[in-house]
Chains A and B, each alone.
Chain A
Amino acid sequence: MRVALMLAAVALTAGCATPRNDLVVVLPEEGGKVGAVVVTDDQKRQTTLDKAYASARTDSPDMFDRSPGMKAGPSSAEEVKKSFGPALAARPARPVSLVLYFTEGSTLSDESKAVVDRMFAEIAKRPAAEITVIGHTDTVGNDAFNDKLSLERAQAVREILIGMGVPAPNISAAGRGRRELLVPTGDNVNEPRNRRVELSVR
């Protein structure tokens, strides 16, 4: 009986407390794609927000306004910016992936020289750029040869980066040999598209 009263008191207190006004708004991704957020509140109510600017707030009895444009929250990029401007402005630059191709050994192909420029630009945008460099080969030669060659390619790019002024600890370089072919081939196939270094700049 006493326990029941206490529980009732707790429930009453919880019920009377001002509900928290948490707000979630789903945004369209670059290119217009929209993912989803599954929202579960402390009363176990649940909904899936999967449209651009669909929002939910936890203080309204009909917390889950499913469609964009309802009163739950901001319903346009402009309104979101009003409430979330500083958080959005603080977003880090999106990570990018780039690929450099090699004619043979660790000599860059002519086309890849333009990509090197792009790589400079992406690194320049980021005050604390972290770069991952992964070397790959085609299937000419055995594993031991290609493991060594892929690492040499990665290190050649690493040297370019260090020459550019990127601190060595910010670069990680590794070789994957012929294990991750961009274009699947049989053994001993000369395939320029597989002779590459994949860079990720974050």
Chain B
Amino acid sequence: MVRSISCCILSAFAAFLVPVIANANDVGQIKTAKGAVHVERAGQKLSATVGTKIQQSDTVVTGADGSVGITFVDNSLLSAGPNSTLAIDRYAFDPTTHAGAFDSRLSRGTLSVVSGKIARQTPGAMTVKTPAAILGVRSTEFVVRADDGARPDTR
């Protein structure tokens, strides 16, 4: 009974579901992507789409028309606007104890952060670096803009 209902309702959108291959090194996954987005990993430039897995040490880059949203395994949500460069410098999470560390770096562009289980369990265990500051996150939501120093300051 339940199964037959599920089939009817879901066949409509099953086509949109993207299969993802799980890997122990995966710490997050791209859930939204618009325009030009790529991931730099070990010197390689990988094209990134919805479903692409993110690993520690990846750098996520968006173009002038790009934006990207990533859900991490501790439920932290990071999303970047156009012309952004976001490096995942360190990511560790224990799903049993919720202990972990999450250090990222926004060297240019804009970023929205909804902190997850890491920051809730250990206030300060999540940090975001910008060119001139370091942000220690206690369970919260915030936005941050990084000034890459390249453009005249018109703001």
Q: Residues on A close to B: CB < 8 A?
A: 18-29, 34-42, 49, 56, 58-59, 80, 83-95, 108, 113, 116-117, 120, 123-124, 126-130, 159-160, 163-167, 169-170, 172, 202
Contact = CB atoms under 8 A, between A and B. Distances in A.
Contact of B6 (A56, A84, A120): A120
A89 B50 CA distance: 15
B139 interface: yes
**Chain A interface mostly:** mixed
Interface residues of B, number: 67
Given A22-B145, A90-B67, A39 B135 contact: yes
Interface in B48-87: 50-51, 67-71, 75, 77, 79-82, 84
Most chain B CB within a 10 A radius of its CB, from A18, A80, A124: A124
Contacts of B136: 37-40
B90 interface: no
Given A37-B135, A87-B79, A87-B80, A124 B13 contact: yes
Given A84-B112, A86-B81, A160-B2, A58 B17 contact: no
A24 B143 contact: yes
Interface of B: 2-3, 5-7, 9-11, 13-22, 29-34, 50-51, 67-71, 75, 77, 79-82, 84, 109-112, 114-115, 119, 124, 130-147, 149, 153, 155
Contact of A35 (B15, B133, B140, B149): B140
Contact of B77 (A37, A94, A163): A94
A128 B22 CA distance: 12
28 contacts: A20-B149, A22-B132, A22-B146, A25-B143, A27-B142, A29-B141, A34-B140, A36-B140, A37-B137, A40-B134, A40-B135, A49-B142, A80-B143, A84-B143, A86-B81, A87-B80, A87-B111, A88-B143, A90-B34, A90-B68, A91-B79, A92-B31, A108-B2, A116-B2, A128-B50, A163-B3, A164-B14, A165-B17
